[in-house]
Amino acid sequence: MDRLQLINEAEQVLMHTYNRYQVVLDHGEGVYLYDTDGRKYLDFGAGIAVFALGYNNKEYNDALKAQIDKLIHTSNYFYNEPAVFAAEKLAKASGMDRVFFTNSGTEAIEGAVKLARKYYYTKHGRADSEIISMNHSFHGRSMGALSVTGNPKYREAFEPLIGGTVFAEYNNYEDVASKVDEKTAAILLETVQGEGGLYPADPEFLRKLRALCDEKGILLILDEIQCGMGRSGSMFCYERYGVKPDIVTAAKALGCGIPVGAFAAVEKAAAAFVPGDHGTTYGGNPLAAAAVCKVFELYEKGGVLANVNETGAYLAEQLDGLVRDYDCIRERRGVGLMQGLEFDAPVKDVIARAMEQGLILFSAGTNVIRFVPPLVIRTEHVDEMISKLRRALDQK
């Protein structure tokens, strides 16, 4: 079936929930993707910050093939070796004590919110808790995740949502503090807002929130689904701030393509869950857990964090050059290999022209181009990206 036939077939049988590019991807190699017509694309989207190790990594593929031949799924009524090892690695990397594996980042948020509410219920004996979340945040598209997502365009059509959410201004400590009361169970935020426009948390803001949570006996939940797993240059972005949350969510690069997420918590929070409070059929199955184990192994073996710090700094410099050279670009924001350029107009056409140049980019909102490439890119890939993007920008 040729490309246009396949696209037409897809439009007939798939729900229309995405405005897809008119491209049918076929395979990948390193930091490049290839479509069914044989065209090559430099990938600066990594499947929305997922494929940190790049495509067709032989050691990763072989580990999954070996696990497939051994055991793919049982259920959580039994233990399995990969899940134990994966949990140990994630707990050590995050500084948390206990881990719950999910199938996605959205499910990780759902679990984190449930855990916070159960912690509050156990502590106070009341089911009237509230979660403070941030305006312009994005935490997922399920009903629970939408309830803590601070963007009306995602929420309006699905209201009434789950109650008990109070929204505050990101990076505005006074606004957040003014909304804390006796019903507050937790404060939830992305360490770097992704969909909201690539806004990192201000260091003083995050440290004050940590102190406020300690003072009031409430939980700090950090969503690191996109900015975690090395994308900032630290395994988890909050390490850069010297702040430790009570609960953290992870996904995306955690499995590097295999659907897996997790929420992890310190013991005082994790202890609120007892058998029957939460569960999942597929979460933490042997195949997903084997992927997590291999990801951590390859990060260490390949010096991924060092590469993010080196190449991320170079990417920031080159993007700053674009800001200087093009009046239509307002500013660069971001950390490590999670960067954004804010434009003075919608970026849809720029991204389309970049695709014509063989460059895959994604937006973050309407006016921001998001750069979240595989974490194994090198400076030469940055140079290639900048060259392609400049051509796209010059085509008015």
pLDDT at residue 102 tops 80: yes
Q: Are 119 and 325 in contact (CB under 8 A)?
A: no
Cis bond leading into 160, ω under 30°? yes
Q: pLDDT, tens digit, for every residue of 154-210?
A: 999 999 999 999 999 999 999 999 999 999 999 999 999 999 999 999 999 999 999
DSSP assigned state of 14: S
**136 band by pLDDT with thresholds 50, 70 and 90:** very high
The pLDDT of residue 49: 97
Q: Which residues contact 373 (CB under 8 A, 6 or more apart)?
A: 31, 43, 44, 45, 46, 337, 381, 385
Question: Buried (b) or exposed (e) across 333-353, using 16+ Cβ within 10 A?
Answer: bbbbbbbbbbbeeebeebbeb
Give me the domains of the chain, ranges plus CATH numbers: 3-56+303-394 (3.90.1150.10), 71-301 (3.40.640.10)
Distance of alpha carbon 149 from alpha carbon 132, whole angstroms: 11
Q: Are 192 and 232 in contact (CB under 8 A)?
A: yes
Distance of alpha carbon 100 from alpha carbon 330, whole angstroms: 41
**How much is the mean pLDDT over the chain?**
97
Q: Are 343 and 330 in contact (CB under 8 A)?
A: yes
Residue at 371: amino acid letter: F
The pLDDT of residue 396: 67
pLDDT at residue 72 tops 90: yes
Q: pLDDT, tens digit, for every residue of 303-345?
A: 999 999 999 999 999 999 999 999 999 999 999 999 999 999 9
